Structure 1
Amino acid sequence: MSEQQEAAHGAVELSYDPELRDYTAALRVRDRVGVAGRRQRKLVGAATGCLVVATALSLARGADVPAPLPVALLLCGSVLFLSPWLMARQLFRFVRRQGEFRVRVDESGVGVDTRNSSTVIRWQAQPRYVETADLFVMLSDDKNATALTVIAKRGARAASDVDRLREIFDRHLTKV
Protein backbone atom coordinates (compact mmCIF):
# COMPACT_ATOMS: atom_id res chain seq x y z
CA MET A 1 0.00 0.00 0.00
CA SER A 2 1.40 3.40 -0.93
CA GLU A 3 1.91 6.09 1.69
CA GLN A 4 -0.97 8.10 0.19
CA GLN A 5 -3.35 5.09 0.30
CA GLU A 6 -2.25 4.32 3.84
CA ALA A 7 -2.99 7.91 4.91
CA ALA A 8 -6.40 7.69 3.24
CA HIS A 9 -7.24 4.47 5.09
CA GLY A 10 -5.53 5.33 8.39
CA ALA A 11 -7.22 6.45 11.55
CA VAL A 12 -8.72 9.90 11.93
CA GLU A 13 -8.26 11.48 15.33
CA LEU A 14 -10.29 14.30 16.78
CA SER A 15 -10.11 16.18 20.04
CA TYR A 16 -12.76 18.56 21.38
CA ASP A 17 -14.74 19.69 24.39
CA PRO A 18 -18.40 18.73 24.12
CA GLU A 19 -21.00 21.49 23.85
CA LEU A 20 -24.69 21.54 24.64
CA ARG A 21 -25.52 22.46 21.04
CA ASP A 22 -23.91 19.19 19.88
CA TYR A 23 -26.30 17.12 21.94
CA THR A 24 -29.32 19.26 21.10
CA ALA A 25 -28.60 18.76 17.39
CA ALA A 26 -27.95 15.03 17.88
CA LEU A 27 -31.25 14.53 19.70
CA ARG A 28 -33.08 16.45 16.97
CA VAL A 29 -31.48 14.06 14.46
CA ARG A 30 -32.57 11.07 16.53
CA ASP A 31 -36.11 12.44 16.73
CA ARG A 32 -36.24 12.68 12.93
CA VAL A 33 -34.92 9.13 12.47
CA GLY A 34 -36.62 7.29 15.34
CA VAL A 35 -40.23 6.14 15.31
CA ALA A 36 -40.97 7.60 18.75
CA GLY A 37 -39.62 11.02 17.78
CA ARG A 38 -41.63 11.11 14.57
CA ARG A 39 -44.76 9.98 16.45
CA GLN A 40 -44.26 12.65 19.11
CA ARG A 41 -43.84 15.38 16.48
CA LYS A 42 -46.99 14.24 14.66
CA LEU A 43 -49.09 14.06 17.84
CA VAL A 44 -47.91 17.35 19.26
CA GLY A 45 -48.23 18.97 15.82
CA ALA A 46 -51.80 17.66 15.46
CA ALA A 47 -52.69 18.83 18.97
CA THR A 48 -51.22 22.26 18.22
CA GLY A 49 -53.19 22.42 14.97
CA CYS A 50 -56.43 21.51 16.75
CA LEU A 51 -55.81 24.17 19.37
CA VAL A 52 -55.15 26.79 16.68
CA VAL A 53 -58.41 25.85 14.92
CA ALA A 54 -60.38 25.93 18.18
CA THR A 55 -58.93 29.34 19.07
CA ALA A 56 -59.64 30.69 15.58
CA LEU A 57 -63.24 29.41 15.71
CA SER A 58 -63.79 31.09 19.08
CA LEU A 59 -62.42 34.36 17.75
CA ALA A 60 -64.48 34.09 14.51
CA ARG A 61 -67.69 33.63 16.49
CA GLY A 62 -66.83 36.70 18.53
CA ALA A 63 -66.78 34.60 21.68
CA ASP A 64 -64.19 34.89 24.38
CA VAL A 65 -61.36 32.45 23.91
CA PRO A 66 -61.40 30.04 26.85
CA ALA A 67 -58.22 30.61 28.88
CA PRO A 68 -57.09 26.97 28.67
CA LEU A 69 -56.83 27.14 24.85
CA PRO A 70 -53.96 29.64 24.55
CA VAL A 71 -52.22 28.03 27.53
CA ALA A 72 -52.47 24.58 25.93
CA LEU A 73 -51.33 26.03 22.60
CA LEU A 74 -48.29 27.56 24.24
CA LEU A 75 -47.47 24.29 26.01
CA CYS A 76 -47.84 22.13 22.90
CA GLY A 77 -45.74 24.48 20.82
CA SER A 78 -43.10 24.62 23.52
CA VAL A 79 -42.93 20.85 23.82
CA LEU A 80 -42.52 20.51 20.07
CA PHE A 81 -39.56 22.89 19.88
CA LEU A 82 -37.96 22.63 23.32
CA SER A 83 -38.02 18.92 24.15
CA PRO A 84 -34.74 18.04 22.34
CA TRP A 85 -33.03 20.97 24.06
CA LEU A 86 -34.43 20.00 27.48
CA MET A 87 -33.32 16.38 27.05
CA ALA A 88 -29.92 17.53 25.81
CA ARG A 89 -29.49 19.68 28.93
CA GLN A 90 -30.08 16.64 31.12
CA LEU A 91 -27.67 14.50 29.11
CA PHE A 92 -25.09 17.28 28.94
CA ARG A 93 -24.85 17.46 32.74
CA PHE A 94 -23.23 14.04 32.57
CA VAL A 95 -21.27 14.62 29.35
CA ARG A 96 -19.68 17.87 30.54
CA ARG A 97 -18.12 16.08 33.52
CA GLN A 98 -16.26 13.79 31.12
CA GLY A 99 -13.96 16.60 29.99
CA GLU A 100 -12.24 16.60 26.63
CA PHE A 101 -13.30 13.95 24.10
CA ARG A 102 -10.54 12.23 22.15
CA VAL A 103 -12.03 10.26 19.28
CA ARG A 104 -10.27 7.81 16.98
CA VAL A 105 -12.10 6.52 13.90
CA ASP A 106 -10.55 3.69 11.92
CA GLU A 107 -11.57 0.61 9.95
CA SER A 108 -12.53 -1.31 13.10
CA GLY A 109 -14.85 1.32 14.61
CA VAL A 110 -14.88 4.41 16.80
CA GLY A 111 -12.92 4.78 20.02
CA VAL A 112 -13.88 7.53 22.45
CA ASP A 113 -11.66 8.41 25.40
CA THR A 114 -12.51 10.94 28.07
CA ARG A 115 -11.14 11.75 31.49
CA ASN A 116 -13.45 9.14 33.05
CA SER A 117 -14.07 6.50 30.40
CA SER A 118 -12.89 4.70 27.32
CA THR A 119 -15.32 3.14 24.85
CA VAL A 120 -15.05 1.38 21.52
CA ILE A 121 -18.09 1.30 19.26
CA ARG A 122 -17.89 -1.33 16.54
CA TRP A 123 -19.65 -0.59 13.25
CA GLN A 124 -22.29 -3.26 13.89
CA ALA A 125 -23.41 -1.57 17.13
CA GLN A 126 -24.41 1.68 15.45
CA PRO A 127 -24.70 0.93 11.73
CA ARG A 128 -26.32 4.20 10.63
CA TYR A 129 -25.18 7.80 10.61
CA VAL A 130 -26.41 11.30 9.87
CA GLU A 131 -24.14 14.16 8.95
CA THR A 132 -25.04 17.71 9.93
CA ALA A 133 -23.08 20.89 9.30
CA ASP A 134 -21.18 20.43 12.58
CA LEU A 135 -21.52 16.76 13.52
CA PHE A 136 -21.52 13.14 12.58
CA VAL A 137 -24.17 11.30 14.60
CA MET A 138 -23.93 7.51 14.66
CA LEU A 139 -27.19 5.71 15.45
CA SER A 140 -28.20 2.21 16.48
CA ASP A 141 -30.50 0.38 14.09
CA ASP A 142 -33.41 -0.17 16.47
CA LYS A 143 -36.65 1.63 15.62
CA ASN A 144 -36.03 4.46 18.10
CA ALA A 145 -32.28 4.83 17.50
CA THR A 146 -31.75 4.36 21.22
CA ALA A 147 -27.95 4.47 21.11
CA LEU A 148 -26.09 7.32 19.53
CA THR A 149 -22.55 8.63 19.32
CA VAL A 150 -21.86 12.30 18.68
CA ILE A 151 -18.68 13.29 16.86
CA ALA A 152 -18.02 17.02 16.50
CA LYS A 153 -16.32 18.02 13.25
CA ARG A 154 -14.62 20.95 14.98
CA GLY A 155 -12.30 18.44 16.65
CA ALA A 156 -10.68 17.48 13.36
CA ARG A 157 -7.09 18.57 12.95
CA ALA A 158 -7.59 19.49 9.28
CA ALA A 159 -10.49 19.92 6.86
CA SER A 160 -9.27 16.85 4.98
CA ASP A 161 -9.88 14.79 8.14
CA VAL A 162 -13.62 15.50 7.88
CA ASP A 163 -13.59 14.16 4.32
CA ARG A 164 -11.70 11.07 5.48
CA LEU A 165 -14.25 10.55 8.28
CA ARG A 166 -17.07 10.73 5.75
CA GLU A 167 -15.28 8.17 3.57
CA ILE A 168 -14.80 5.77 6.50
CA PHE A 169 -18.43 6.16 7.56
CA ASP A 170 -19.64 5.60 4.00
CA ARG A 171 -17.63 2.37 3.81
CA HIS A 172 -19.01 0.95 7.05
CA LEU A 173 -22.33 2.66 7.81
CA THR A 174 -25.60 3.49 6.11
CA LYS A 175 -26.20 7.21 5.69
CA VAL A 176 -29.69 8.19 6.79
Structure 2
Amino acid sequence: MSAEADVHGQAVDLRFRLTAQDCSQALWARARIGREGRRQRLLGGLLLGLLAVLCVLEAGLGLDFPLMMYVAAGVVGPLMFLAPWLTARQLWGYVKRQGESRVRVDENGLTAAMDHSSGSVSWAAQPRYLETRDLFVLLSDDRNATGLTLLAKRGAAGPAEVDRLRETLDRHLTRL
Protein backbone atom coordinates (compact mmCIF):
# COMPACT_ATOMS: atom_id res chain seq x y z
CA MET A 1 0.00 0.00 0.00
CA SER A 2 1.40 3.39 -0.95
CA ALA A 3 1.86 6.26 1.49
CA GLU A 4 -0.86 8.19 -0.37
CA ALA A 5 -3.32 5.32 0.06
CA ASP A 6 -2.49 5.17 3.77
CA VAL A 7 -3.25 8.87 4.17
CA HIS A 8 -6.48 8.60 2.15
CA GLY A 9 -7.61 5.62 4.19
CA GLN A 10 -7.18 7.30 7.57
CA ALA A 11 -10.18 8.77 9.29
CA VAL A 12 -10.09 12.14 11.00
CA ASP A 13 -11.67 12.24 14.45
CA LEU A 14 -13.04 15.41 15.98
CA ARG A 15 -14.38 16.18 19.48
CA PHE A 16 -16.01 19.53 20.13
CA ARG A 17 -18.96 21.40 21.60
CA LEU A 18 -20.57 23.82 19.21
CA THR A 19 -21.04 27.36 20.45
CA ALA A 20 -23.53 30.10 19.62
CA GLN A 21 -20.68 31.80 17.73
CA ASP A 22 -20.20 28.64 15.62
CA CYS A 23 -23.89 28.65 14.67
CA SER A 24 -23.75 32.32 13.78
CA GLN A 25 -20.53 31.96 11.75
CA ALA A 26 -21.98 29.01 9.80
CA LEU A 27 -25.26 30.74 8.99
CA TRP A 28 -23.55 33.97 7.92
CA ALA A 29 -21.34 31.90 5.60
CA ARG A 30 -24.37 30.05 4.23
CA ALA A 31 -26.20 33.34 3.67
CA ARG A 32 -23.37 34.52 1.41
CA ILE A 33 -23.94 31.66 -1.02
CA GLY A 34 -27.61 30.72 -0.68
CA ARG A 35 -30.42 32.10 -2.80
CA GLU A 36 -32.38 33.12 0.29
CA GLY A 37 -29.38 35.00 1.68
CA ARG A 38 -28.96 36.94 -1.56
CA ARG A 39 -32.68 37.75 -1.55
CA GLN A 40 -32.52 38.98 2.05
CA ARG A 41 -29.51 41.20 1.34
CA LEU A 42 -31.20 42.65 -1.76
CA LEU A 43 -34.47 43.34 0.06
CA GLY A 44 -32.64 44.79 3.07
CA GLY A 45 -30.60 47.06 0.81
CA LEU A 46 -33.69 48.20 -1.07
CA LEU A 47 -35.53 49.01 2.15
CA LEU A 48 -32.57 50.92 3.58
CA GLY A 49 -32.25 52.74 0.26
CA LEU A 50 -35.95 53.61 0.44
CA LEU A 51 -35.42 54.97 3.94
CA ALA A 52 -32.58 57.17 2.69
CA VAL A 53 -34.69 58.43 -0.26
CA LEU A 54 -37.60 59.21 2.07
CA CYS A 55 -35.34 61.20 4.37
CA VAL A 56 -33.79 63.16 1.49
CA LEU A 57 -37.17 63.89 -0.11
CA GLU A 58 -38.67 65.02 3.18
CA ALA A 59 -35.70 67.18 4.12
CA GLY A 60 -34.99 68.57 0.66
CA LEU A 61 -38.45 68.99 -0.81
CA GLY A 62 -40.52 69.27 2.34
CA LEU A 63 -42.61 66.24 1.39
CA ASP A 64 -44.40 64.51 4.22
CA PHE A 65 -44.52 60.69 4.30
CA PRO A 66 -46.52 58.50 6.69
CA LEU A 67 -44.61 57.41 9.77
CA MET A 68 -45.26 53.73 8.92
CA MET A 69 -43.12 54.03 5.79
CA TYR A 70 -40.18 55.07 7.96
CA VAL A 71 -40.87 52.35 10.48
CA ALA A 72 -41.17 49.65 7.82
CA ALA A 73 -37.99 50.66 6.01
CA GLY A 74 -36.05 51.43 9.19
CA VAL A 75 -36.95 48.22 11.01
CA VAL A 76 -37.46 45.59 8.32
CA GLY A 77 -34.38 46.63 6.31
CA PRO A 78 -31.89 45.97 9.12
CA LEU A 79 -33.79 42.80 10.12
CA MET A 80 -33.14 41.41 6.63
CA PHE A 81 -29.40 41.79 7.21
CA LEU A 82 -29.65 40.32 10.72
CA ALA A 83 -31.63 37.24 9.65
CA PRO A 84 -28.63 34.85 9.83
CA TRP A 85 -27.82 36.05 13.33
CA LEU A 86 -31.45 35.71 14.43
CA THR A 87 -31.68 32.22 12.92
CA ALA A 88 -28.41 31.26 14.65
CA ARG A 89 -29.94 32.21 17.99
CA GLN A 90 -32.81 29.80 17.32
CA LEU A 91 -30.45 27.06 16.10
CA TRP A 92 -28.28 27.49 19.18
CA GLY A 93 -31.26 26.60 21.38
CA TYR A 94 -31.30 23.15 19.74
CA VAL A 95 -27.56 22.69 19.36
CA LYS A 96 -26.63 23.38 22.98
CA ARG A 97 -28.85 20.48 24.14
CA GLN A 98 -26.87 18.10 21.92
CA GLY A 99 -23.74 18.40 24.06
CA GLU A 100 -20.34 17.23 22.89
CA SER A 101 -19.96 16.10 19.28
CA ARG A 102 -17.74 13.16 18.43
CA VAL A 103 -17.31 13.02 14.66
CA ARG A 104 -15.38 10.64 12.43
CA VAL A 105 -14.76 11.72 8.84
CA ASP A 106 -13.56 9.05 6.41
CA GLU A 107 -13.79 8.13 2.75
CA ASN A 108 -17.50 7.19 3.06
CA GLY A 109 -18.70 10.38 4.72
CA LEU A 110 -19.04 11.23 8.36
CA THR A 111 -20.58 9.70 11.43
CA ALA A 112 -21.44 11.79 14.45
CA ALA A 113 -22.48 10.98 17.98
CA MET A 114 -23.72 13.60 20.39
CA ASP A 115 -25.01 13.24 23.94
CA HIS A 116 -28.59 12.71 22.76
CA SER A 117 -28.40 11.64 19.13
CA SER A 118 -26.21 10.10 16.47
CA GLY A 119 -26.20 9.77 12.72
CA SER A 120 -24.23 9.59 9.53
CA VAL A 121 -24.02 11.79 6.46
CA SER A 122 -22.86 10.50 3.10
CA TRP A 123 -20.91 12.72 0.76
CA ALA A 124 -23.88 12.75 -1.63
CA ALA A 125 -26.22 14.16 1.04
CA GLN A 126 -24.17 17.31 1.51
CA PRO A 127 -21.93 17.62 -1.55
CA ARG A 128 -20.67 21.17 -0.96
CA TYR A 129 -18.74 22.88 1.79
CA LEU A 130 -17.53 26.25 3.00
CA GLU A 131 -14.56 26.93 5.18
CA THR A 132 -14.66 29.71 7.73
CA ARG A 133 -12.02 30.75 10.24
CA ASP A 134 -13.22 28.20 12.81
CA LEU A 135 -15.41 25.73 10.91
CA PHE A 136 -16.00 23.52 7.95
CA VAL A 137 -19.68 23.86 7.00
CA LEU A 138 -21.07 21.03 4.87
CA LEU A 139 -24.13 22.02 2.81
CA SER A 140 -26.87 20.28 0.91
CA ASP A 141 -27.13 21.11 -2.78
CA ASP A 142 -30.62 22.61 -2.76
CA ARG A 143 -30.95 26.31 -3.60
CA ASN A 144 -31.20 27.44 0.01
CA ALA A 145 -28.65 24.96 1.39
CA THR A 146 -31.15 23.86 4.03
CA GLY A 147 -29.09 20.91 5.22
CA LEU A 148 -25.87 21.78 6.99
CA THR A 149 -23.33 20.07 9.19
CA LEU A 150 -20.81 22.02 11.26
CA LEU A 151 -17.33 20.66 11.94
CA ALA A 152 -15.33 22.76 14.39
CA LYS A 153 -11.63 22.89 13.55
CA ARG A 154 -10.77 23.13 17.26
CA GLY A 155 -12.03 19.56 17.60
CA ALA A 156 -9.08 18.19 15.63
CA ALA A 157 -5.95 16.90 17.35
CA GLY A 158 -3.88 19.64 15.70
CA PRO A 159 -3.21 21.65 12.54
CA ALA A 160 -2.08 18.55 10.63
CA GLU A 161 -5.45 16.90 11.32
CA VAL A 162 -7.27 20.03 10.11
CA ASP A 163 -5.22 19.86 6.90
CA ARG A 164 -6.07 16.16 6.46
CA LEU A 165 -9.74 16.95 7.01
CA ARG A 166 -9.61 19.72 4.40
CA GLU A 167 -7.94 17.31 1.94
CA THR A 168 -10.66 14.70 2.54
CA LEU A 169 -13.39 17.29 2.02
CA ASP A 170 -11.69 18.55 -1.15
CA ARG A 171 -11.57 14.99 -2.53
CA HIS A 172 -15.26 14.35 -1.99
CA LEU A 173 -17.02 17.72 -1.96
CA THR A 174 -17.16 20.95 -3.93
CA ARG A 175 -15.60 23.87 -2.08
CA LEU A 176 -17.61 27.08 -2.32
Please indicate, yes or no, whether the TM-score normalized by the shorter chain is above 0.5: yes
Q: So what's the TM-score if we normalise by structure 1?
A: 0.91
In the alignment, structure 1 segments of 5+ residues that lack a partner are none
Give, in angstroms, the shift of residue 165 of structure 1. 0.8
**What CA deviation, in whole Å up to 9, does each residue of 1:89-111 have, x standing for no partner?**
11111110110011111111011
Partner residue in 2 for 1:139:
139
- In 2, Cα distance between the equivalents of 1:128 and 1:150? 12
Partner residue in 1 for 2:130:
130
The RMSD of aligned alpha carbons is 1.9
- In 2, Cα distance between the equivalents of 1:94 and 1:175? 27
Partner secondary structure for residue 141 of structure 1: coil
Give, in angstroms, the shift of residue 62 of structure 1. 4.7
Partner secondary structure for residue 104 of structure 2: strand
In the alignment, structure 2 segments of 5+ residues that lack a partner are none
Q: In structure 2, what residue type is equivalent to 1:105?
A: V
Partner residue in 2 for 1:61:
61
Partner residue in 1 for 2:39:
39
Are 1:115 and 2:136 counterparts? no
- Note if contact 1:103-1:111 (Cα within 8 Å) is conserved in structure 2: yes
- In 2, Cα distance between the equivalents of 1:153 and 1:77? 34
Give, in angstroms, the shift of residue 82 of structure 1. 2.0
Are 1:154 and 2:154 counterparts? yes
Q: So what's the TM-score if we normalise by structure 2?
A: 0.91
Give, in angstroms, the shift of residue 61 of structure 1. 2.5
**Higher deviation after alignment, 161-170 or 28-37:** 28-37
Q: In structure 2, what residue type is equivalent to 1:35?
A: R
Give, in angstroms, the shift of residue 72 of structure 1. 2.9
Structure 1 stretches (4+) deviating beyond 6 angstroms? none
**What CA deviation, in whole Å up to 9, does each residue of 1:53-81 have, x standing for no partner?**
11122122356675435433431343133
Partner secondary structure for residue 97 of structure 1: helix
The count of residues paired between Structure 1 and Structure 2 equals 176
- Note if contact 1:102-1:112 (Cα within 8 Å) is conserved in structure 2: yes
- Note if contact 1:34-1:143 (Cα within 8 Å) is conserved in structure 2: yes
Partner secondary structure for residue 160 of structure 2: helix
Partner residue in 2 for 1:86:
86
